[in-house]
Amino acid sequence: MSDDGLFPVELVQPETDDAGPRLVAPGAVHVPGWLTFEQQRWIVARFAEWTQGPVPLRAATLPGGHQMSVKTVCLGWHWQPYRYTREATDVNGRPVLDFPDWMVRLGRKAVAAAYAPAIVEDASLNSLAEDYTPDAALVNFYDDGAAMGMHQDKDERSGAPVVSLSIGDSCVFRFGNTKTRTKPYTDVPLQSGDLFVFGGSSRFAYHGIPKVHPRTAPSECGLTHGRINITMRVTGLS
Ligand code: SIN
Ligand code: MN
C-alpha cells in the first residue's frame, strides 16, 4: 500500500476468531479483522480531527422530531435526513470536510478484498473495485446505549456498493432484505477492524445496529470507549 500517502502499512493483522471473509447475502460480504491495529489507531486520530469541525459531531434529528442516538460527522457530502448537502444546513451552515484521497484508495482496496473471485462468483462485482470512487462518508460514533434502527441507505443516486469499517466496541449488525425491515435477516457480529461491503442485489437491503457491547474495544485500536463506524458511499451527485 505504498501509494496510500500517510495511511499506515502494517502486515500484522489483528487476531480474529472468525475463519475469514463470509458471504452474508448476494453482494454482502463480511471481512473480519481487515484493518490492522495501526490503521485503526490512525483512523481514530483522523476522527479526532474531523470532530474539530467546521461541522461538529452531531446527533441528527429525524422528521417528526426524534433525535438519533448515534452522532455523525461527514466527509465529502453532509448527510441530513434524508439528503446530501455541501453545507451542514441542519447544524451550523458550515461546509463539510473534503473526502480524503486516502479514503478513496482504501475504499477500492475494501471492494477488491470483499468482492474477490474466491468470495463472490459474480464477474460484475469482481470488477467493481478499480473504478470505485466514493465521495461521501458518514462517520458515526456510538456511545454506550446508542443503536440504529433498520433502514435502507437510499439517499444516493448510485447503486455502487457501501463500504463499512468498524473500530472500537463490538456490535450486532443486523443485515436484512430489500423488501421489509423485518425478517429474514442475519445478525452479524462486527468487531474492531472489520470490513463489511454491501452492493449488487444487497445494495438497498435494510440494515441496522440493534446492540453495541460496551467496553469491548481492544486497547490496541486506539479508542478507549464507544464505536466508530465509517460508511463510504457514491452519492451520484455533482
Ligand atoms: C449505517 O447503517 O449507516 C451504520 C452501520 C454501522 O454502524 O455499522
Ligand atoms: Mn445505513
pLDDT in tens, 87-105: 999 999 999 999 999 999 9
Q: What percent of the chain has pLDDT over 90?
A: 92
Burial 125-140 (b: 16+ CB within 10 A, else e): bbebbeebebbbbbbb
Q: What's the CA gap between 219 and 87, in Å, rounded?
A: 35
Q: What percent of the chain has pLDDT over 70?
A: 93
Instruction: State the closest ligand 1 atom to the C-alpha of 173, by its place in the atom list counted from 1.
Output: 8
Query: pTM for the complete prediction?
Result: 0.95
Q: What is the pLDDT of residue 82?
A: 96
Note the pLDDT tens digit of each residue in 7-54: 887 656 666 666 699 999 999 999 999 999 999 999 999 999 999 999
Among candidate residues 60, 95, 96, 94, the one with its CA nearest the CA of residue 80: 60
Secondary structure (3-state) at 181: coil
The answer, yes or no, to whether any atom of ligand 1 lies below 6 A from the CB of 207, is yes
Is the pLDDT reported for residue 5 higher than 80?
A: no
CB atoms within 10 A of CB 226: 18
Q: What's the CA gap between 170 and 85, in Å, rounded?
A: 31
Is the pLDDT reported for residue 122 higher than 80?
A: yes
CB atoms within 10 A of CB 193: 24
Q: Where are the domains of the chain?
A: 21-233
Is the pLDDT reported for residue 147 higher than 50?
A: yes
Superfamily of domain 21-233: Alpha-ketoglutarate-dependent dioxygenase AlkB-like (2.60.120.590)
Q: What is the pLDDT of residue 2?
A: 41
> Ligand 2 centre from 169 Cα, in Å?
18
Instruction: State the closest ligand 1 atom to the C-alpha of 171, by its place in the atom list counted from 1.
Output: 8
Is the pLDDT reported for residue 181 higher than 80?
A: yes
- Going by their DSSP bridges, the two strands 207-212 and 227-233 should be labelled as unpaired
What dihedral angle (degrees, nearest 10) is formed by the CA atoms of 56, 207, 190, 41?
-20
Could you tell me if 205 and 177 are in contact, meaning their C-beta atoms sit under 8 angstroms apart?
yes
Please state the rounded mean pLDDT for residues 184-200.
98
What stretches of the chain show up as alpha helix (H) in DSSP?
A: 37-50, 101-114, 123-126
Residue nearest to atom 7 of ligand 1 (CA): 229
Note the pLDDT tens digit of each residue in 55-72: 999 999 999 999 999 999
